[in-house]
Amino acid sequence: MKIKSIVAGLGLCFICHSSFATTVGFAQVGSESGWRTSFSESVKAEAKKRGIELKFSDAQQKQENQIKAVRSFIAQGVDAIIIAPVVETGWTPVLKEAKRARIPVVIVDRNVQVQDESLFVTRIASDFVEEGRKAATWLMSQPQAQQQCNIIELQGTVGATAAIDRAKGFNEVLAKHPQAKIVRSQTAEFTRAKGKEVMESLLKAEQGGKSICALWAHNDEMALGAIQAIKEAGLKPGKDMLVVSVDAVPDYFKAMADGEANATVELNPHLGGPAFDVIEAYLQGKKDIEKLIRTTGDLFLQDTAAAEYEKRRLN
């Protein structure tokens, strides 16, 4: 199939169309959140639908594992590689290796920091800065936030675009509201277990959390863990303390329907289709592919949460 790709790349292939057997390696971050799991499932289902052979690697949130996986995809001579990077830095050497082997790489979700943009075909991702802005804009519109509003922030993985950019967007809006400020901020690595553990310690540090107006979590999974900690501290999440985050996973809709969370910005996990569309187009010779393909998502609140939960829980 390598030969077919080359022939297709030259624009000479009449039989290649969607039926040619393509092998794609997918270096995934891990399975730290419900959103991540849906994203992995989307890629697997889409590969199956299109007859693509998928080599899937779960890096358990470690970049070194991802780099190893990419090297092994290169050694196996796959036709294309999808990388959902854990962190932004440290990608140049392995991307160069892929380029040397003439294997196209598509970046999905978080970003990579490289000087040479020709090292990847495109990146398919949401605007994380905008997600942070949306979360903060909603929070700042709430009556509780009109007077002094002390916020606890649970950050995502250190060095990950989703954490860097969400914080940036949120803080940008907050800067226009001097009555609101982040009083505690710590990473909880995008997981529910860490979300609970870190929130417990931050609530202790804040004398139980009575003076906290809101929790801002960089993803629903950490918020769900933190909601547990807030309840155990004797406070009502969603009422005594507003809860806002990003992802829009089914469990979070349930929490909103139960009144224990207030808002979330949707992050589309169905990235398999767009990723394979780009790969197929590239292998068939299309070279003028945009460097950034955006996905978007709306803010969801409690009013539609029960209905959304019903719609989404089985998907």
Site residues for ligand GYE per CB under 6 A: 32-33, 35-36, 109-110, 162, 190, 219, 221, 246-247, 267
Nearer to ligand GYE (CB atom), residue 159 or residue 285: 159
Q: Which stretches does DSSP call E strand in 142-191? A: 149-155, 180-187
Q: How far is the CB of 301 from ligand GYE (least distance, A)?
A: 18
C-alpha angle with apex 189: 215 to 106, nearest 5 degrees? 115
Q: How far is the CB of 245 from ligand GYE (least distance, A)?
A: 9
What sign has the CA pseudo-torsion 12, 17, 23, 26?
positive
Q: How far is the CB of 111 from ligand GYE (least distance, A)?
A: 10
Nearer to ligand GYE (CB atom), residue 150 or residue 185: 185
Task: Please state, in angstroms and rounded to a whole number, the distance separating the CA atoms of residues 231 and 224.
Answer: 11
Task: Please state, in angstroms and rounded to a whole number, the distance separating the CA atoms of residues 243 and 110.
Answer: 24
Residue for token pair 């939960």: 309
Q: Are 105 and 279 in contact (CB under 8 A)?
A: no
Nearer to ligand GYE (CB atom), residue 47 or residue 222: 222
**Neighbouring C-beta atoms of residue 234, cutoff 10 Å:** 11
Q: How far is the CB of 267 from ligand GYE (least distance, A)?
A: 5
> Which strands form 180-187's sheet, in the order they lie side by side?
180-187, 149-155, 214-217, 242-247, 263-266, 299-301
Q: How far is the CB of 292 from ligand GYE (least distance, A)?
A: 15
Burial status of residue 141 (CB atoms within 10 A of its CB: 0-12, 13-18, 19 or more): exposed
Nearer to ligand GYE (CB atom), residue 110 or residue 184: 110
Q: How far is the CB of 36 from ligand GYE (least distance, A)?
A: 4
Task: Please state, in angstroms and rounded to a whole number, the distance separating the CA atoms of residues 239 and 164.
Answer: 28
Task: Please state, in angstroms and rounded to a whole number, the distance separating the CA atoms of residues 218 and 34.
Answer: 13
Nearer to ligand GYE (CB atom), residue 36 or residue 194: 36
Nearer to ligand GYE (CB atom), residue 20 or residue 190: 190
Nearer to ligand GYE (CB atom), residue 35 or residue 276: 35
Q: How far is the CB of 293 from ligand GYE (least distance, A)?
A: 15
Burial status of residue 199 (CB atoms within 10 A of its CB: 0-12, 13-18, 19 or more): buried
